[in-house]
Amino acid sequence: MAKILKIVGILLGVLVLAGAGGALWMWSARDARLAIVYEVEDADFPVPFPLTDDEVAALRAELEAGRAAAVAEGSVAEGSEEDVLADVDLSALALERAVERGKHLVESRYICVECHGQDFGGGTMIDDPGVGTILGPNLTTGAGSVTADFTPADWSRAVRHGVRSDGTPLVMPADDFVAMSDLELSDVIAYIRTAAPVDKTVPRIAFGPVGTMLVATNTLPLAAEMFPDHTRSHEPLPPPTGDTVAFGQHLAGVCTGCHNPNLTGGPRPGFPPDWAEPLNLTPHASGLEGWTFEDFQRVMRQGVRKNGEPLKLPMNKLLPYSLKMTDTELHALWTYFTSLEPRPYGE
Ligand code: HEC
Ligand code: HEC
């Protein structure tokens, strides 16, 4: 009897040690992965972008037409030689337009507020006892801001590379933003900088046991690891706005984080159990084969799938954003998806 108890005792001891060893391995594997330092390009671009020559020319033509009309009406004397642009503050106008574009990008595409708060003062990405507390920090200029002293290079490193200023990886799904051009990021920064300062210090991320395991075992993808080359620079400008495959592909950059880089969908590691699996967006029988644009539009504008079911989590969370897409943007996505080679689900 005593012998059996002794054996059981030893076995238990071994199990406890193995458990502790496993946990220790898990913790150190997690920390090792989060301590890797990435060398990232130093992006350089203006905030805001100045007006282009074409924009200035269009503005001049508009103001000259206005002056000609006023002369014809007799409200302005003829023969004024003054440059119509003399009194126009072109930098203020450039900023105004950049903020307007940035607002549209955040509201229809880049969903920063979903994790950083509607006022950009901080928000929640995941708050789960198992996975952890993963909070989006304060992006305003108030006390507790992480971005108050950010240069464009710092913004680019975080947003388009998923890397902190010390070179280590962020737990932000920045893979959705890698296709962002300099102009778009500049516009987003210009817009975020108009946010009223919020005084709030957001605690740093803390992983629970499940989160630790997901990071330690490389199950949770980290955006920084997905880049083949962090020293490669980004496009200065997005493709021209229009109902084209190129523009649609650019827009679909924010769909690939969930629907897979090749858009065939499939289960996502790290998705909570109450989230659905992203579906196939290629024109395959398991995807968009036989769909019309109206079917696609119903998903994006009403949150209803072709089979009549309401969209599930997390796609249904995107409805407020896709509702803000312009008709051109929506159709360009459709044009792009239907141009793809049909591929089976989750390939
Ligand atoms: C899905 C949630 C999510 C979205 C969407 C998101 N972020 Fe984040 N962001 C986070 C989290 C979480 C962190 C903190 C990650 C960490 O500390 O590892 C973060 C960190 C940051 C940082 C801080 C980097 C640093 O060095 O501390 C910046 C800047 C940032 N995000 C900007 C943006 C911008 C701009 C957008 C929109 C284009 C955006 N984020 C969209 C979740 C998100
Ligand atoms: C946060 C993850 C996520 C992102 C980002 C995302 N989706 Fe989805 N999407 C899903 C999930 C999950 C489903 C399945 C929902 C369901 O089963 O009801 C889905 C379903 C769909 C469907 C319905 C397909 C069908 O067969 O009914 C379409 C269309 C779609 N997404 C388009 C898009 C487009 C376009 C984008 C980018 C602008 C996008 N999604 C971005 C997660 C995402």
Q: How confident is the model at residue 271, as a pLDDT?
A: 80
- CA–CA distance, 325 with 334 (Å, rounded to integer): 13
Distance (angstroms) between ligand 2 centre and the Cα of 322 equals 11
| Ligand 2 and 279: CB distance under 6 A | yes
| Ligand 1 and 153: CB distance under 6 A | no
8 A C-beta contact, residue 297 and residue 330 = yes
- CA–CA distance, 253 with 329 (Å, rounded to integer): 13
Structure tokens at 233: 């620079």
| Ligand 1 and 146: CB distance under 6 A | yes
Nearest listed ligand to the Cα of residue 266: 2
Distance (angstroms) between ligand 2 centre and the Cα of 300 equals 9
- CA–CA distance, 307 with 326 (Å, rounded to integer): 25
Task: Please give the DSSP secondary-structure letter assigned to residue 28.
Answer: H
Residue type, 221: P
> Radius of gyration (Cα) for the chain, nearest Å?
26
Q: Which domains does the chain have, with CATH numbers?
A: 39-72+89-234 (no CATH), 239-347 (1.10.760.10)
How many C-beta atoms surround the C-beta of residue 89 within 10 A? 10
| Ligand 1 and 329: CB distance under 6 A | no
User: What stretches in the chain show pLDDT beneath 50?
Assistant: none
Q: How confident is the model at residue 215, as a pLDDT?
A: 94
189-231: pLDDT as tens digits: 999 999 999 999 999 999 999 999 999 999 888 999 988 789 9
At residue 60, what are phi and psi to the nearest 5 degrees?
A: -60, -45
- CA–CA distance, 145 with 201 (Å, rounded to integer): 7
Give the nearest ligand 2 atom to 321 CA.
38
Distance (angstroms) between ligand 1 centre and the Cα of 136 equals 5
Distance (angstroms) between ligand 1 centre and the Cα of 43 equals 18
Distance (angstroms) between ligand 1 centre and the Cα of 224 equals 13
Structure tokens at 222: 């980290």
Structure tokens at 48: 């805001």
Nearest listed ligand to the Cα of residue 151: 1
Give the nearest ligand 1 atom to 189 CA.
35
Among 33, 104, 115, 178, name the best residue to mutate to test ligand 1's pocket (greatest count of ligand atoms within 8 A of Cβ).
115
Distance (angstroms) between ligand 2 centre and the Cα of 339 equals 18
| Ligand 2 and 259: CB distance under 6 A | yes
Distance (angstroms) between ligand 1 centre and the Cα of 48 equals 21
- Determine which residue's CA is closest to atom 14 belonging to ligand 1: 136
| Ligand 2 and 333: CB distance under 6 A | yes
33-52: pLDDT as tens digits: 999 999 999 999 999 999 99
| Ligand 2 and 257: CB distance under 6 A | yes
- CA–CA distance, 125 with 148 (Å, rounded to integer): 21
Give the nearest ligand 1 atom to 147 CA.
29
Q: How confident is the model at residue 15, as a pLDDT?
A: 65
| Ligand 1 and 98: CB distance under 6 A | no
Nearest listed ligand to the Cα of residue 290: 2
DSSP per-residue codes, 263-300: S-----TT--TTSPPPPP-SSSTTTTTT--HHHHHHHH
| Ligand 2 and 312: CB distance under 6 A | yes
- Determine which residue's CA is closest to atom 13 belonging to ligand 1: 136
